[in-house]
Amino acid sequence: MAKVKRIRPASDKSISHRAVIFSSISKGRVKISNMLFSDDTLRTIKAMQSIGVEIEISSKHVIVNGAGKYSLKEPNNVIDMGNSGTSARLISGLLSAQNFFSVITGDESLRKRPMGRVVKPLSQMGATILARNNNLLPMAIKGTNPTTGIIYKSPVASAQVKSAILLAGLYSHDTVRIEEPYKSRDHSENMLKAFGVDVIVDKNSIELGRNRELTGDFSINVPADISSAAFFMVYAALKENSEIILSDVVLNPTRSGILRVFDMASVDYEIINERVENFEKVGDILVRHTKELSPFTIEGELIPTLIDEIPILSILAVFCDGASYIRNASELRKKESDRIAAICTNLRRVGVEVEEFEDGFAIKGDRNIKLRPAVIDTQFDHRIAMSFSILKAVSGVDINISETKSISVSYPNFLDHLSYVSL
């Protein structure tokens, strides 16, 4: 058995975005340690700086000098969110509650992604929003303060929609409540609690309480991202003689659906060193090579807990004996690429039998599958690029990845980590 490898995956992208945004409207100095410095999170930092927030950046941490939620200023230029849907949707909620005008845009990919899901509730809260084709960037926002209260029954379980409403709702004097069909990731609720805001959670319903002021003057340590850890969790399960510990990974139940899939697939893993930091469960994940893997099904309420992990779980499915199914995942068609199409097309190129559905796909797996050399088209989607890089590493087949620059969106040192575990 090879020596156990230990890596700390990239810091959590969702928590990094929120740490910057909530710190920016708090009263006090907030130190953010282990911040993820990726293309997406740097867009959030630049966006907050453009509306008057003082943010200091060093190689080790970020210092946000918050002056309260009423301190923001009108930007003097269009705010470019790059490829970051999280930046665009969350900050649109914040901008909808300001008494000034702003315009946000993004790169070619982000300008194709729908914004209607946040435009609708934010408009109901009093903002005037004009978007290309009604729901595409660029988007102009004339905010209002205070915002109107809202009881919003979201048609989808979306942490971005929920967070945008909560951010706008911080500026309302009325009831602000969101009801979801399933519980989406709850990092915003957890972080608001850390800042002293009253948040009332009842199953799939979230409501802001009386206190809506954020108090800073504390530190936030950003844990590792389970979505980034997932690539090496699957690598360890598939690579012969492999054993890897992923350190300091966020284990929030609304994010850790991959562990339920590992249970279904009979992957050999364990959780060690569990703890709670800033209302978030954190721990280390030890994964060992597993010879016999069972097929699995991902659907329903499990989808929001692992939506970003589906590309790498499709690689796991290739080596499970039998057919694995992913359903109710139509949201994947609205990511950086149409991920359902990208997964199916590229798996077929390497010789995997795949059936594509409108809301997912089925993969016929075989632990002894003989893959063939192919060129993988990532469509400039970071998760497609990383997933097929893992397939190449565990299979040893000559797989040519069309590009890897997109990986910097979420995991800048991914290829370094992959080289390390492959030694």
Cβ atoms within 10 A of the Cβ of 419, count?
A: 11
Both tokens of 250, joined, read 């966020």
φ/ψ (deg, to 5) at 271: -105, 130
218: phi then psi, degrees, rounded to nearest 5: -155, 180
- Cβ-count burial of 274 within 10 angstroms (0-12 exposed, 13-18 middle, 19+ buried)? exposed
CB neighbourhood size of 73 (10 A): 11
Angstrom distance (rounded) from CA 290 to CA 238: 6
Q: In whole angstroms, give the CA distance from residue 124 to residue 118.
A: 10
Cα 20 to Cα 93, 105, 200: the distances in Å are 15, 19, 23
The amino acid at residue 119 is V
Rounded to whole angstroms, the Cα distance separating 369 from 295 reads: 14
**Antiparallel, parallel or unpaired: β 322-326 and 360-365:** antiparallel
Alpha-carbon distance 333 to 339, whole Å?
6
Strands 205-208 and 218-221: unpaired
Beta bridge partners of 78: none
**Is residue 308 annotated as part of the catalytic site, yes or no?**
yes
Residues counted in the chain:
423
Q: What angle do CA 222, 301, 21 make, to 5 degrees?
A: 30
Could you tell me which of 306, 293, 284 has the C-alpha nearest to residue 238? 293
Neighbours of 70 (CB within 10 A): 12
> Which tokens go with 91?
């900050």
Q: Which two tokens stand for residue 381?
A: 């989607």
The residues, ordered by sequence, that sit 6+ positions from 226 with a Cβ below 8 Å of its Cβ are 12, 249, 250, 251, 252, 255, 256, 258, 309
Residue 33 host element (H or E): strand 27-33
Q: Which one of 12, 308, 377, 381 is the catalytic residue?
A: 308
- For the annotated catalytic residues, the residue numbers are 308
